[in-house]
Structure 1
Amino acid sequence: MKPIIAVRYLILLGWFISNFVYSYAQNLGRTDERMAYYCEPCGSACDLERHAGPGTCQHCGMSLVKRSVTIMDSLSRKQKNMKKRNVAIFIHDGVEILDFAGPSEVFASTPGFNVYTVSLTKEPIMSQGFIKVTPTYSLADCPAPDIVVLPGGNTGPFLKNETLINWITNCSKQAEVMLSVCTGAGLLGKAGLLDGKQATTFHNYIDALQAATPNAKILRDTRFVDNGQIITTAGVSAGIDGALHVVAKLKGLDVATQTARYMEYDKWKPNEGLVVESETKSTTVAK
């Protein structure tokens, strides 16, 4: 190589290296400026919440770590653009508080669900005689639900409500999940959705539900029964287990576990129930 060419080559190489180093330093500086603290991924909405400094997340208790603001903002935009599943929780006069409040807490605490209450009308209902709740929607204007929750309590009078039963039947034609809690299973039975299936309910309602739905098998001492679309739970607190089971089915066990942790619901045992795999085969798990 001629000396003059070698010199030019070295000059060009030096120019390239200096520009690369400068560009890297500039990008590094910009990256540092675009860093913020986020909680370790826990599957809840707080994953995308930005914090100014280190510490722990006030929502889930996870440690805060540095992450790229650009990347996290992109994830946030993607999450906002994702279609949320509509969760319609039917409430009525005499509804048991925890029957609807438990599943409400589960779905509202998990990303990806749009939770709302619905009743026969938009008039306030009374829960257990002392809590007044105003429904978000009536049956007439309720958005099409992906998940329907039917809590129990004083459901007797509503078994005869033809408009309600027709609404439940119509919802079942397109919803992913129809979840009953406690005596809410009676509403599923009245709509014919328990025929040929196994189910459970509040322990004091088992005999009555069995008599009302002779084509179903109503199980005792079972926390929940999953028939695929139709999921029934035992009474009161069992609705939390059923809702967490639905979250695990749709979004994964890790997400459901983090939701249970956020709620500090130590009682939950993911496999505590009966998952029916087909008409002839089922898997029973420990109570």
Structure 2
Amino acid sequence: MRPHRIAVLGVGTVVGFDLAIPPQIFAGATGPGGPLYEVQVCSIDGGPLATTRGFSVLPECGTDALREPDTVIVPGVDPGTFTEAPKVTAYLQELPPGTRIMSICTGAFVLAAAGLLDGRPATTHWAYANRLSAMCPQVELRPDVLFVDDGDLLTSAGVAAGIDLCLHVIRRDHGSEVANRAARRNVVPPWRDGGQSQFIERPLPSPGDTGTAPTREWLLHRLAEPLTLEAIAAHAGMSVRTFTRRFREETGTSPLDWLLGQRIEHARHLLEFSDLPIEEVAARSGLNTATSLRKHLRARLGVSPAAYRRAFHQG
């Protein structure tokens, strides 16, 4: 089976870091037959791309020379100088049905200019979220998350969130083990908790506040236990209100939402690497019943536990 073909399409003045993320991350995804992805960097006409940091990049080719990409990724652009490029819009709008389209950071502005975000959930760098919303009020903007997966259209938050998105795509395509190997090869975490709201500029916490990291570590060893918010806050030595506020500042999400995410990830691991019955997987991950596991896995990934195991079981 041939590798999945990815075209990284530079537009206007690109963010150099964003442009380099897909070739680097997807190169780390390999299987028994070799590389799972083939990545080409291109511009519309094959000409050089200026970057936001004072250097230029000569892409491999123009879009006319691309080998029928399965996925097209648009890295970040300079929103201050970006103007709609009719050739780029035409190229994106004329991609065959089923082509996966992704943006990293402010690359969402390119997708918005092409009308691809109308009525769709999406995200971008938090500092430019209001500008994108004004430009494309039809978008269902989610400025607090690291990435949005809407099936064939995926968008990431600012800069390094592109790494999170690429790893998510590898995980979606080939399972956690392949994604984790790609993360280890690139010396990055395979999964980051919370959203980009944890990086938004805000006043520093008062010196007397204590962090929630020890309690998060404590929770990871008790996923199967029934845990209330009151008990979690008590472990941290805080009131529920203070703990919830501090937790959201540090992780970008609420304590119970974070805990649910960890339980789902543990359930995915058990489905991939064990032959435990579905009921036992649910119990060990703290989701209690197969019905609950099925509900959360379908909401998060769009598949049932049995279908997920058939696709990604490593036994």
In which range does the TM-score fall when normalised by the shorter chain? 0.5 to 0.7
Structure 2 match to 1:109: 28
Give the Cα separation in 2 of the matches to 1:271 and 1:229: 23
Whether 1:85 aligns to 2:4 is yes
Structure 2 match to 1:94: 13
Give the Cα separation in 2 of the matches to 1:228 and 1:164: 22
Structural mapping, 1:29-40, within 5 Å: none
Extract structure 1 runs of 4+ deviating beyond 3 A.
Answer: 155-159, 270-275, 281-284
Structure 2 match to 1:195: 118
Look up the equivalent residue of 2:47 and give its one-letter code: E
Whether 1:217 aligns to 2:140 is yes
TM normalised by structure 1 equals 0.63
Structure 1 match to 2:149: 226
Structural mapping, 1:138-157, within 5 Å: 138-154=62-78
Deviation at 1:254, TM superposition (A): 1.0
Residue 94 of structure 1 contacts residue 129 of structure 1 at CA under 8 Å; is this kept in 2?
A: no
TM normalised by structure 2 equals 0.57
Higher-strand-fraction structure: 1
Give the Cα separation in 2 of the matches to 1:268 and 1:95: 26
Residue 159 of structure 1 contacts residue 165 of structure 1 at CA under 8 Å; is this kept in 2?
A: no
Give the Cα separation in 1 of the matches to 2:65 and 2:80: 24
Look up the equivalent residue of 1:99 and give its one-letter code: D
Residue 226 of structure 1 contacts residue 232 of structure 1 at CA under 8 Å; is this kept in 2?
A: yes
Which sections of structure 1, spanning at least 5 residues, go unmatched?
1-81, 276-280
Deviation at 1:270, TM superposition (A): 7.8
Give the Cα separation in 1 of the matches to 2:36 and 2:113: 30
Structure 2 match to 1:74: none
Write out per-residue CA displacement over residues 80-125 of structure 1, whole angstroms, 9 at most, x where no aligned residue.
Answer: xx21111100124421122121222111221211111110222222
Residues 150 and 172 from structure 1, CA distance in 2 versus in 1: closer, same or farther, beyond 3 angstroms? farther
The one of 107, 131, 152 aligned to 1:184: 107
Larger Cα Rg: Structure 1 or Structure 2?
1
Residues 164 and 242 from structure 1, CA distance in 2 versus in 1: closer, same or farther, beyond 3 angstroms? same
Whether 1:207 aligns to 2:130 is yes
Look up the equivalent residue of 1:148 and give its one-letter code: V
The one of 149, 153, 172 aligned to 1:249: 172
Deviation at 1:143, TM superposition (A): 2.0
The alignment covers a number of residue pairs equal to 197
Residues 282 and 184 from structure 1, CA distance in 2 versus in 1: closer, same or farther, beyond 3 angstroms? farther
Structure 2 match to 1:14: none
Residue 144 of structure 2 contacts residue 195 of structure 2 at CA under 8 Å; is this kept in 1?
A: no
Residue 200 of structure 1 contacts residue 232 of structure 1 at CA under 8 Å; is this kept in 2?
A: yes
Whether 1:166 aligns to 2:90 is yes
Identical pairs, percent? 31
Structure 2 match to 1:264: 187
Write out per-residue CA displacement over residues 63-86 of structure 1, whole angstroms, 9 at most, x where no aligned residue.
Answer: xxxxxxxxxxxxxxxxxxx21111
